[in-house]
Amino acid sequence: MDLKIIKKDKEKTIFTLNGINPAMANTIRRYIIEQVPTLAIEEIDMSRNDSALYDEMVALRLGLVPLTTDLKSYNKKEECKCKGAGCASCQLVFSFKGKGPGTVYSDAIETKDPKVKPAIPKLPIVKLLKDQEIKAEGIIVLNSGNVHTKFSPGLLTYRGYPSIKAGKNANIKKAVEECKGALVAKGSSAEIKDIVSWNEAYEEICEKNGLEIEYSDEEFIFTAEAWGQLSVKEMLLEAMKIFDEKLGEFNKLIKKLK
């Protein structure tokens, strides 16, 4: 197994991974989306709302705000020592308030934990007119995307690594020209030069000019995009940690079989 970073920035990482199969690639994708936990607003008490939006709409917007998450400091309620009663290890109180005129943004969400704050400070929540106010407070909890998508830390997509195979009547020169730098001629065939920008439009150009696209079932291109709660690296490490734990549980169950 070999992992190679192709492109990386603050929010997105593109990498290749070989030595796995489609089932494993899809498992990594599902664990990122469904199993890696993050913090999100779960309960809201709206004490004042003079805005044009219903309480429920404001609550929905607040619940979808990505919050920076410290996985070492918080537990899921069902896994906490308090057994879900609610303590500092499984829930966090927040407050939200604003006064018009003007737009109240996500950075109006405040907690007593400096590590927990809106990952995107300037998400607009509600617009207030002169003398209008809004006040709310509630509870932030840790959970995973299989419970609600607001707890999902990001998105992971994958595809088999493409390669080019030239047919007998392939017009390689024309395909290279039309792909405008994304494809280069190589011997009697062609090779993808810019895998990051490679898309279906280029594939159609190749097929139109007699070049066949083949996709590997052992090497894959992954695009991981974090929504701010965790970094891409934290997402992947946590996903593999959870996967290992579940495999360990499965191994114990197998040993009990007679």
Write out the two tokens for 36: 């890696």
Mean pLDDT per 10-residue interval, the chain, length 258 residues: 89 93 95 97 97 96 97 93 91 97 98 96 97 97 96 95 87 90 86 89 91 93 95 95 91 84
**Extents of the domains making up the chain:** 2-34+154-224, 38-151
Output the pTM of the full model.
Answer: 0.87
Which residues lie across from 92 on neighbouring strands? 140
CA distance linking residue 122 with residue 125, whole number of Å: 9
User: What's the distance, Cα to Cα, between the start and end of the chain in Å?
Assistant: 34
Q: Which CATH architecture has domain 38-151?
A: Beta Complex (2.170)
What DSSP state is assigned to residue 31? I
Looking from the CA of 223 toward its CB, the CA atoms found within 13 Å total: 9
What's the confidence (pLDDT) of residue 4?
93
User: CB of 16 within 8 A of CB of 161?
Assistant: yes
Q: Which CATH architecture has domain 2-34+154-224?
A: 2-Layer Sandwich (3.30)
Write out the two tokens for 37: 């936990």
Radius of gyration of the chain (CA): 24
